[in-house]
Amino acid sequence: MSREVILAARPQGVPQESDFELREVADDAELADGEVLVRNVFVSVDPYMRSRMSGIRTYVGPYEIGDPIDGGAVGRVVASNYDGLAEGDWVLSQLGWREAGVVEGKRVRKLDPERAAPSTALGALGMPGFTAWLGLTEIADVKEGETIYVSGAAGAVGSAATQIAKLKGLRVIGSAGSDEKVEWLRSLGVEAFNYRETHAREALADGIDVYFDNVGGEQLEAALSALRPFGRVAACGAISRYNDQKPESGPRNIGFVVTKRLRIQGFIVSDHNARFADFLREVGPWVAEGKIECRETMIDGIENVPAAFAGLFHGHNTGKMLVRVGPA
């Protein structure tokens, strides 16, 4: 037997632990041709999961009540009926909030623990890092010497974006919600500020060329004021709005998009999977050489996945939030 987390109720506002339930399931089914049994070691909690809990299809289908929460997970193969995967191999899958599960071998990615810690496949060398790299290089098309503002800069995507931007020669300004996070960002060479104490308009008074938006809301409004003519916005996320129960007014200064000739482009990283190998070629060596710090906030126990997920919306993570659900 193993355990999995299911959606018990659609969250109203900020997710609560009571919106989820822990369920026991049998995991002794015989493997079909091409299948593998994986025991998860790390599972990912990500802000995008909140929209899937609403019951409304966006760019991906919603979670249904009573269904387990699928998403990124890293684990080890315990039984294989698929050529190319053997017992003990580390793999990345979409098994999500489960201790174990059966998956088609062709739908997992084998990991090399000699090149990077397996957990980085859920962070700096996974979807968050890829999102940061793509937003900078393709969506915003950043240039050496430019000034970029990254909101949510101490999160999984934001911390990758700030460090990649520094490596590409940009001046980087970042916001975070605690003094401890600000201190960490400053140790990375980021001009960081605590948005709870300093308004973004003040911190961005010198102007910016690019805004990497993870937050939306007031941060987006401040960035529109600070952007120079022909500035760009890579609209990655809007976590400040994910739990709204009624629509909020948009930025009051949206007119700057016209008068400053700004470009705002939203993006979903899965639309660009063909670029993933390019991302790994550039960012993989930076991680291996320690030029990118892969900070993780680690919670233990499958039973604590809902609390870890809710913690994303209270700023409880620095870097990537992960839950360790099994031994390595």
For 193-231, b/e burial (b = at least 16 CB within 10 A) is bbbeeeebeebbeeebbbbbbbbbbebbbbbbbbbeeeb
The Cβ of residue 270 has, within 10 Å, a number of other Cβ atoms equal to: 12
Three-state DSSP class for 21?
A: strand
| Rounded distance between C-alpha atoms, residue 222 and residue 79, angstroms | 52
Strand partners, 103: 36
| Rounded distance between C-alpha atoms, residue 100 and residue 96, angstroms | 9
Output the pLDDT for position 241: 85
Tell me the one-letter amino acid at 171: R
The domain locations on the chain are 2-122+295-324, 127-270
| Rounded distance between C-alpha atoms, residue 133 and residue 29, angstroms | 40
Mean pLDDT of the chain: 96
| Rounded distance between C-alpha atoms, residue 75 and residue 90, angstroms | 6
Grade residue 245 by pLDDT with cuts at 50, 70 and 90. Answer: confident
Closest CA to 72 of 94, 104, 48: 94
Q: What is the pTM of this model?
A: 0.95
Q: Which fold has domain 127-270?
A: Rossmann fold (3.40.50)
The yes/no answer on whether domain 2-122+295-324 falls in CATH 3.40.605.10 is no
Q: What is the pLDDT of residues 172-182, one digit of tens each?
A: 999 999 999 99
Q: What is the pLDDT of residues 78-119, one digit of tens each?
A: 999 999 999 999 999 999 999 999 999 999 999 999 999 999
Tokens of 78: 């315990």
DSSP string, 127-168: HHHHHHHHIIIIIS---TT-EEEESSTTBHHHHHHHHHHHHT
pLDDT at 328 over 80: yes
